[in-house]
Amino acid sequence: MLEAKITQYFIGLGSNMGERDRTLRSAIEQLGAAGKLVAESPWYETKSWGFTGLDFLNLVVEIHSELDPEAMLFFCLSLENQLGRQRTVSGYQDRVIDIDVLYAGDCVLKSNKLTVPHPLIPLRNFVLAPLVKIAPNFVCPSSKKSVAQLWEECNDKGGLSLWKQY
């Protein structure tokens, strides 16, 4: 019998509308349907990135899943929709929930639906701060740098504070 391939995913979550903490907790619980939740980072409160809006709560989870990267993306987009996200304009905006596939193991993929690793990881402290807490030695398959190295090199250091740790 063929054994299913398990992929190590790092998923970024954020919210800056409504009951942010409850929405994120619900998203984390529901992500468990996509695979095994292995780690959850501390939660951070961060200033909006790319626009002026309300503060976000952000975190990163590690999930091991049999889903391929595009199926994981579809799962995340469906979950966003279920939790009330409405995509009304392109670009940056306030959102009830944002779920991003950051890494899919050693996969490097660029399609019209999905790019992994997520191309903006090295620029975003709200992704790197939580990610470095749960996976400092994970090596980005495209840059060949560890998460710890990416965090050290990131110029975006402001507007970030530890919110609460579950």
For residue 44, the enclosing domain spans 7-164
Q: What is the pLDDT, as a whole number, of residue 101?
A: 97
Least confident segment among 17-21, 58-62, 67-71, 162-166: 162-166
Provide the domain count of the chain: 1
Q: Is the pLDDT confidence value at 76 over 60?
A: yes
The answer to whether the predicted template modeling score (pTM) of the entire model surpasses 0.85 is yes
Tell me whether residue 151 is in a domain. Answer: yes
User: Is the residue at 2 inside a domain?
Assistant: no
Nearest residue to 60 via CA among 47, 41, 81: 41
What gap in Å lies between CA 13 and CA 36, rounded to an integer? 16
User: In sequence order, what are the residues at sequence separation of 6 or more whose Cβ sits closer than 8 angstroms to the Cβ of residue 19?
Assistant: none
Backbone angles phi, psi at 23, to 5 degrees: -65, -45
Q: Is residue 1 part of a domain?
A: no
- The residue assigned the tokens 């790197």 is 128
| 56 part of a folded domain | yes
Q: In CATH, what number is assigned to the domain containing residue 19?
A: 3.30.70.560
Q: Is residue 82 part of a domain?
A: yes
Query: Does any domain span residue 136?
Result: yes
**Other C-beta atoms lying within 10 Å of the C-beta of residue 111:** 10
- pLDDT band of residue 94 (cuts 50, 70, 90) is confident
